[in-house]
Structure formats: C-alpha cells, structure tokens
Amino acid sequence: MVKLIIDTDPGIDDAMAIFYAAAAPDIDLLGLTTIFGNVTTATATRNALRLLEAAGLDLPVAAGATAPLVLPPFKPSAYVHGEEGFGDIPAAEPKGKPLNEEAADFLCRMAREHKGELVVCPIGPLTNIALAMQRDPEFIRNVKSIVVMGGSLEEGGNITPHAEANIYHDPHAADVVCKSGSKVVFVGLDVTHRILCRPEDFAAIAAQSPDLGGMLQEMSHFYIKFYREVAGLNGCSLHDPAAVIACTHPGLFGMRGVPLEVSCGGETSGATLAAPDSARAPIKVCMTVEADAVKSLFLRRLALLP
C-alpha cells in the first residue's frame, strides 16, 4: 500500500488521476495539496475539494502557493482545461474548506509523520514541492519518493517547442527539485505521449461508473477537442494518471538515471536538460512505458467507482 499525497492543479487529467487514486486498492490517499497551473490556486483548491466530495472521500486539502518562486504570477489559459478547470462543467462550490495550513507546511508535516513511507506525486507546477524543500531540509530525507508529472527529455515540449507545461510554469521550482537528488522520478512527455485515451474508452468508463466515470467522460469532450485541434488526435494523453500509476507500478516504466537541469530563461525556458557534467545526482527519468498495461489498469480501476 502506497501512502500518497497528490499536489495538483485540477484540471481534467488531474481529475482522472485523483479518481484513479480513489479507486486504486494499493493507494492510501492521505490528502491533496493545490497549486496554480491549469487554473488559479483558489480554483484548484475549490476543484480539489469538489473532486474529493464527489468521490465520497473526507480528506484534507491544503492550499498552495499563488505564484511561482521567481517568475511573476500569470493568468491561466482556459484553452486546454476550460474556465473552471473541468471543461464545460460549470463552477460549483464544495461544502468543505481547505486546512488552515499551507501546502508546503502540510507536506513537511506529513513527511515527518509518515517518515520513510510518504510518496508525493506532484501533477502541477513544482512550487509547493520546492518550498517544502526550502522550508525543511529534512523533507527530502523524510519522503519515500517524489514522482513528478513533468518534463521532457527527448520528446520536445507541449506548451513551447522546448518545455512541458508543469515545468514551464515554474522552472526555478523545478530546478530546485532536480537538484534534490535520487528520490525524484520524472514521468514526462517521453512516456505520457505514448498513452492515448479515446472517446470510446471514456464511454466505456462512463457505462461502468455512471457518476464519477460519467463526470470524467463529460470533461473529456473538452480536453479531446483541444487534442484534435492541436495535434490531430482523437484522444488525450493520460499525463497525470501515468504519474500516479508510476507510484505503485514503477515496473511498467523504463527509467534512465539522468542528472537534470532546468532552463530558467530565454526561448528554452522550462526545458529539462541532461547535465552529465554537473555535480547533480541522477534523477530517474521515465523513457519507455508499457502503454497498454498502464491504460488497461486505468480503465479497469476507474470502472470500480460508482
């Protein structure tokens, strides 16, 4: 059983990842922390609470940073995930409230309380994770691992030709995480672009899980429209679910140990670059994936939901 906290900017594929974690019998979800990216941090926090309530989970949500470490705050684009984060699904207020504890402090405390056992899975920009590392030097020693959805080594970018979106939105924070050493795993575009979920897959999920699967199917229309327009694909990549699946099924991924640096300016800002001559410890970067197995796990487990 993996004790997991997901750091998230929900977000359509974030919703898929969180519902997957709710369904997975090998995940003990301890809470969510939120970050800007697909939406603002305030909307991400509201959406995280909404998703947990929809899934019937009474878990803590800690709101995170509202701006990148160094770059100025930015207005999220509605193009990929919609104005409210869930495609065409309208805004709604959850009943619950976030903790009176910031995301970075919550992460440090949970890592202390579950020393050696906590896996943190950031599926948005890495600001909260970098802040946790800066606030508590023990944080990285206390966690079991940090499994990041982000980056691209050989695949090129998805927000610029060089950068993957999560890294691009706070490259300085991503560089702090890259410096922190061997407990970090990157699940980036090199593998997530290999896993495509099509409209008929979401229809199958909705048929078996009308409530939660139905909600994902509704969101997926907007997300797949974006993929059709931009990439000519009749489906979407399972970015964030792949990172959550890598937390419990690392064997489905082929990893390469690479010391990584993040470009923090200019045309290549947000690119994750191999830095073999640096003094940095190698990070595990996922380069291959058993895509059919990851997708089938995703579909099978979501079908267990109501």
Does 165 bind ligand BDR (CB under 6 A)? Our answer is yes
The 3-class SS string of 58-120 reads CCCEECCCCCCCCCCCCCCCCCCCCCCCCCCCCCCCCCCCCCCCCHHHHHHHHHHHCCCCEEE
Per the listing, tokens 């993957």 go with 164
User: In 17-36, which positions are buried (b, 16+ CB within 10 angstroms) versus exposed (e)?
Assistant: bbbbbbbbeebebbbbbbbb
DSSP for 140-177 reads: HHHSSEEEEE---SSS--SSSSS--HHHHH-HHHHHHH
Give the shortest CB-149-to-Ca ion separation in angstroms: 6
Query: What are 18's two structure tokens?
Result: 């969180």
Give the shortest CB-113-to-ligand BDR separation in angstroms: 27
CA atoms within 13 A on the CB side of 152: 25
81 is catalytic: no
Name the binder of 164 from ligand BDR, Ca ion, none, CB < 5-8 A by kind: ligand BDR
Query: What are 49's two structure tokens?
Result: 């609470």
Which one among 40, 47, 158, 248 touches ligand BDR, defined by CB under 6 A?
Answer: 158
Q: What is the 3-state composition of the chain as percent helix, strand, coil, each rounded to the nearest 5?
A: 40, 20, 40
169 is catalytic: no
Residue 124 or 259 having the CB closest to Ca ion: 124
Only segment of 101-109, 130-138, 158-166, 173-181 that touches ligand BDR (CB under 6 A): 158-166
Name the binder of 165 from Ca ion, ligand BDR, none, CB < 5-8 A by kind: ligand BDR
Q: Is 137 exposed, middle or buried (0-12, 13-18, 19+ CB in 10 A)?
A: exposed
Residue 161 or 210 having the CB closest to ligand BDR: 161
Which one among 240, 245, 248, 305 touches ligand BDR, defined by CB under 6 A?
Answer: 240
Give the shortest CB-167-to-Ca ion separation in angstroms: 12
User: Which residues of the shown chain bind Ca ion in the complex (CB under 5 A)?
Assistant: 9, 11, 14, 123-124, 240
Angle at 164 between CA 204 and CA 241, to 5 degrees: 30
Does 40 bind ligand BDR (CB under 6 A)? Our answer is no
Give the shortest CB-11-to-ligand BDR separation in angstroms: 4
Residue 236 or 264 having the CB closest to ligand BDR: 236
Does 13 bind ligand BDR (CB under 6 A)? Our answer is yes
Residues annotated as catalytic (active site), given as ranges: 9, 239
Interface contacts to ligand BDR, rule CB under 6 A:
11, 13-14, 38, 80, 123-124, 149, 158, 164-166, 239-240
